[in-house]
């Protein structure tokens, strides 16, 4: 069966939609920075530490994952010691972070992969990679996804990337920047071309702030800086329009 060629109209519609989304994302960046300010990058940190801590952050709170990471480092002062330990010992050290059995195996396997791939317990080389190369290399490891790599690139290396976590996913869907049922990974690729250059860190951090303080599971639309550009808020209060 012959492939149907896209019509001029459908191509034009997609181009208009891309341009609209681009403007929407830029407007979201501006509104969030006006409300929360421009967050400062805290400077480089060890990429391996950052990636392990991101693994621990999966399906738990920042408080719990932070405590689990500190406990892990206290129990195993070096990554070499952690890699040599039984997964059950790692699980005991990170129990506070939840899903300890699953995460302990992931961490141990990842550390062994790092040693074999890079020749030592260091992934400093990730900061010299282009983002797509880093995704290609690290996402082959079980338990390491696009978000985990993007968080490491952003916070450890200071790269201009845009990680998508649960808060970012929820807000991007509600605002209408992406389809309502898009997965977090799909949202990463959909949003990537629209985030203004140099604004990956600002947009990610300010969306986290919004998700933790205002755009909760039961959102506080009345005080949200995005209420006039948000699809969800307009559906709740149809009289609101973007007059900014």
In a domain, 4, yes or no: no
The pLDDT, as a whole number, for residue 121 is 98
| Span 92-102, average pLDDT | 94
In a domain, 12, yes or no: no
CATH number of the domain to which 190 belongs: 1.10.1670.10
| Span 104-132, average pLDDT | 97
Residue 240: pLDDT band (50, 70, 90) is very low
Is 80 exceeded by the pLDDT of residue 49?
yes
In a domain, 21, yes or no: no
The pLDDT, as a whole number, for residue 59 is 87
Q: Are residues 93 and 173 in the same domain?
A: no
Q: Are residues 62 and 147 in the same domain?
A: yes
Which residue has better confidence, 215 or 237?
215
Give CA–CA dist 7/130, Å, rounded: 35
| Span 188-210, average pLDDT | 97
101, 134, 155 - which closes a domain: 155
In a domain, 51, yes or no: yes
Q: Are residues 166 and 236 in the same domain?
A: yes
| Span 77-102, average pLDDT | 95
Give pairs for 106-113: CB < 8 Å, separation 24+. 106/55, 106/142, 106/143, 107/52, 107/55, 107/56, 107/72, 107/82, 108/82, 108/83, 109/141, 109/142, 109/143, 110/51, 110/52, 110/55, 110/141, 110/143, 110/144, 111/79, 111/82, 111/83, 112/83, 113/141
Q: Which two tokens stand for residue 207?
A: 């969306």
Is 50 exceeded by the pLDDT of residue 239?
no
Question: Considering its fold, how many domains does the chain have in total?
Answer: 2
Q: Are residues 225 and 168 in the same domain?
A: yes
Q: Are residues 107 and 133 in the same domain?
A: yes
Q: Which two tokens stand for residue 48?
A: 């391996």
Look up the domain containing 234 and give its range.
162-244
Q: Are residues 166 and 222 in the same domain?
A: yes
What's the pTM?
0.89
**115 in Cβ contact with 158 (< 8 Å):** no
First-to-last CA distance in the chain?
Answer: 50
Q: Are residues 182 and 200 in the same domain?
A: yes
Q: Which two tokens stand for residue 228?
A: 């006039």
In a domain, 28, yes or no: no
Q: Are residues 65 and 148 in the same domain?
A: yes
Mean of the per-residue pLDDT values of the chain: 92
Residue 244: pLDDT band (50, 70, 90) is very low
Is 70 exceeded by the pLDDT of residue 7?
no
């Amino acid at each position: 069966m012959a492939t149907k060629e896209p019509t001029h109209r459908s191509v034009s519609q997609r181009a208009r939609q891309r341009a609209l989304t681009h403007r929407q994302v830029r407007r979201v960046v501006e509104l969030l920075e006006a409300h929360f300010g421009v967050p400062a990058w805290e400077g480089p940190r060890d990429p391996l530490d950052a990636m392990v801590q991101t693994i621990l952050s999966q399906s738990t709170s920042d408080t719990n994952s932070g405590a689990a990471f500190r406990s892990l480092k206290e129990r195993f002062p070096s990554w070499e010691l952690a890699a040599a330990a039984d997964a059950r010992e790692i699980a005991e050290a990170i129990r506070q972070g939840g899903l300890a059995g699953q995460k302990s195996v992931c961490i141990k396997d990842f550390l062994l992969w790092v040693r074999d791939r890079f020749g030592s317990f260091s992934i400093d080389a990730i900061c010299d990679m282009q983002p797509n190369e880093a995704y290609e290399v690290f996402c082959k490891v079980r338990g390491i996804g696009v978000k985990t790599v993007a968080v490491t690139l952003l916070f450890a290396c200071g790269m201009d990337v845009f990680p998508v976590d649960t808060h970012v996913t929820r807000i991007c869907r509600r605002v209408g920047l992406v389809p309502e049922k898009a997965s977090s990974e799909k949202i990463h690729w959909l949003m990537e071309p629209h985030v203004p250059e140099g604004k990956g860190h600002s947009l990610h951090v300010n969306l986290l702030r919004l998700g933790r303080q205002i755009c909760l599971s039961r959102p506080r639309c009345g005080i949200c800086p995005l209420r006039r550009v948000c699809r969800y808020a307009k559906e709740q209060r149809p009289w609101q329009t973007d007059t900014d």
